[in-house]
Amino acid sequence: MAKFSVQGAELEVELSDEGGHPVVQLHGLTSSRARDRVLNMDLGRGLSGTRLLRYDARGHGESTGRTVVEDYEWQNLADDLLALLHEYFPGEKVYGVGPSMGCATLLYAAIKEPERFCGLTLLLPPTAWESRKAKSQAYLNHARVLETEGWDAFVQADINQPVPPATVGNPVTLPDNSPQLLPTIFRGAAASDLPQLADLARVNVPTHIFAWTEDPSHPVTTAQALLYGLPQARLQVASTRDEVNAWPQILMDDVAKHGAPHTAVPIH
């Protein structure tokens, strides 16, 4: 474990160095490295023989943050990611994997520095573009409930939401954020969207998109739009837990196929 300083936050970082390909793993909104393991979303658990970098995004898990809405907008989270990659994998191409907010962070980072990545695994792309408007309003409502009715009221409303078929059997978990920061984090998410489709043409690396059915927060329609917007994308859609359980092995195969060697050409 290590701390990494970015403007306004200290990120909690974990590097599992077993040699081999450099890989960075992100998590989703209100989650963390620890919560993703509980939710069966830690796809990197099988990535032996790699240099796997995991971290908690600012304001999540064991990372700190401040009550500045712009800090949590996805374009700015991409700057945190790129700073980490420059520190831990200088001059190397990296394979990136992340769900939802992590998926968005990776896309913005890849647009800003297309040469930084050798491949991507994008899990559960979130609402975007037209479908983002209603979700943004929902996040603003979450922030209001937290500030006016408190943590318990927010958690109760969240627990009562239906879950996708592929997640049936997962334990109930709470957001891995402080109640003081979470309203600001939600407002940052409300102000965020996926990159425009025209910009995604710059992300010209092998990209594997995973989605699951019956999840309004992560609609298959977004994954399908990314499939056509990204130059080298392919898509798999799960509807059962067994199909999701196969994702770590698929990630292992993709990293082995597309991961950059240890001695990559320096990036300029």
- The answer on pLDDT for 176 being more than 70 is yes
DSSP-derived pairing of the beta strands 51-55 and 94-99? unpaired
Interatomic CA distance for residues 92 and 118, integer angstroms: 9
Q: Average pLDDT for residues 258-265, to the nearest whole number?
A: 64
Domain boundaries, the chain: 2-258
E strand residue ranges, the chain: 2-6, 9-17, 22-25, 51-55, 94-99, 117-123, 207-212, 233-238
- Collapsing DSSP to helix, strand or coil, 7 comes out as coil
* Whole-prediction pTM: 0.95
Q: What are the tens digits of pLDDT across the range 71-115?
A: 999 999 999 999 999 999 999 999 999 999 999 999 999 999 999
Q: What are the tens digits of pLDDT across the range 58-73?
A: 999 999 999 999 999 9
How far from the centroid of its chain's Cα atoms is residue 256's Cα?
Answer: 21
- The answer on pLDDT for 30 being more than 50 is yes
- Decide which of 3.40.190.10, 3.90.550.10, 3.40.50.1820, 1.10.287.70 is the CATH code for 2-258: 3.40.50.1820
Largest distance between two CA atoms of the chain: 54
- The answer on pLDDT for 1 being more than 90 is no
| DSSP one-letter string for 77-140 | HHHHHHHHHHHHSTT--EEEEEETHHHHHHHHHHHH-GGGEEEEEEES----GGGHHHHHHHHH
- The answer on pLDDT for 263 being more than 70 is no
- The answer on pLDDT for 199 being more than 60 is yes
The answer to which of 86-90, 237-241, 264-268 has the lowest mean pLDDT is 264-268
